Amino acid sequence: MKKFSTAALFLALASAATSYAADGEEAKISPRCAFLPSAPDQHTVVRGDTLWDISGKFLQHPWCWPQVWGLNRDQIRNPHWIYPGQVVYLDRATGRLHLGNAVGSASDRAGIPTVKLSPQLRTEGLGQNAVPAIPSNMIEPFLSQPLVVSEGELKTGPRIMATDEGRVILGKNDKAYVRGDLKSGTSFQVFRPGTPLKDPESGKVMGYEAAYLGTVKLEREAKVANEAHVFRVVTVKEEMAVGDRLLPVPPTPILNYMPHPPEKPVDARIMSVYGGVSQAGQNQIVSVNRGSKDGLDLGTVLELYRFGQLVPDRTEDRGFFSVGSWGKAKVKLPDNRYGNLFIFRVFDNISYGLVMQVTDTVQIGDVARSPE
């Protein structure tokens, strides 16, 4: 394995800095998007890889991969262009990553073309076997569920008001009788209001995390105002009962994102860990108290920090009779960066992220801010 020289690093940054945005203007590239000193010459893509994992073999910060490939946000909204069997090459002369096929590989025989990634790359649809940006199986269940509902939705949404034969709980294929305005919808998700999400800074309730229960489908719409709609339970994740609420099934989500820092500085706090626990580890879901109104969008990457503690300066001399830490000046230790957060679902004031590459546990109240 060749060692990555200072000259090659300079070329990498210079080359990355010449990638262009969609409007043709030169993009500003973070100086942190550097290659690892131990970066390999190449990596053969295997099933189960993600773009984040592959980039982590070459880059100090995996979220920088779009910039080092020389791609912009519009070019890879759905970046399904890397397949198992292809080879990622590090061109040390230009400081770029390039993509090709191993000679005689299965992908070559399958007709996957050799592609040299450059600013003029075009994406041509979605490949079923393509490598995802992040572990999509971790976030897919959260993409089509409400997660956050407002107090208004809790009060006005359609609700299960009775069950067939007075059943206490509903299972698959059971009937449910529903009251409320369906707004011409026929397929709904069923949820139960969960824990209120409180802003760690203000203490204000910003929304309610909904517990997803399953799906129901309309069989017979009410004919008169005081009649109930008839629904059939299609899928069940948790038990449904009288009082549970309905929301329309949202459109099928896009399962791939381009990682990028926020366009403006963001300083958020961890509000909750999904599942009602107090700490999270890698590949777990957390919510933050910032959303689209604050500049977050799909694929935003934030860095995770723990607040530095206030500790007494025991080395400070305050006189002969000074004992222990009493009376000592309090000094704040620097905030400790310990990982990354990949934002995959955004509401107005709340967002959900997947915890990536942490060296410590994520705790409620921790900071999630723009990469420096």
Among candidate residues 208, 204, 213, 199, the one with its CA nearest the CA of residue 155: 208
Q: Per 3-state DSSP, what percentage of the chain is helix, strand, and coil (rounded to 5)? A: 15, 35, 55
* CA dihedral angle for residue 230, residue 232, residue 237, residue 242, rounded to 10 degrees: 30
Give me the pLDDT at residue 120, please. 30
Give me the pLDDT at residue 256, please. 58
Model-level pTM greater than 0.85?
no
**Residues sharing a CB contact under 8 Å with residue 356, sequence separation 6 or more, in sequence order:** 52, 62, 134, 282, 283, 339, 340, 341, 342
> What structural domains does the chain harbor?
6-136 (no CATH), 145-248 (no CATH), 267-369 (2.40.10.410)
Among candidate residues 212, 222, 244, 260, the one with its CA nearest the CA of residue 72: 260
Are 337 and 367 in contact by the 8 Å Cβ rule? The answer is no
Burial of residue 326 (CB within 10 Å: 0-12, 13-18, 19+) is exposed
Give me the pLDDT at residue 14, please. 31
Per-residue tens of pLDDT for the chain, all 372 residues:
333 332 332 223 233 333 333 333 334 445 667 888 899 999 999 988 888 888 889 988 888 777 777 655 454 444 456 788 888 888 777 777 777 765 444 444 444 444 444 333 333 344 567 777 777 767 776 776 767 887 777 678 899 999 988 889 999 999 999 999 999 999 999 988 778 888 988 889 888 888 889 999 999 999 998 999 999 999 998 889 999 999 888 776 655 567 888 989 999 999 999 877 888 988 899 999 999 999 999 889 999 999 888 888 877 765 544 445 555 678 988 889 999 999 999 999 999 999 988 899 999 999 999 987
Angle made by CA atoms 10, 14, 15, in degrees to the nearest 5: 115
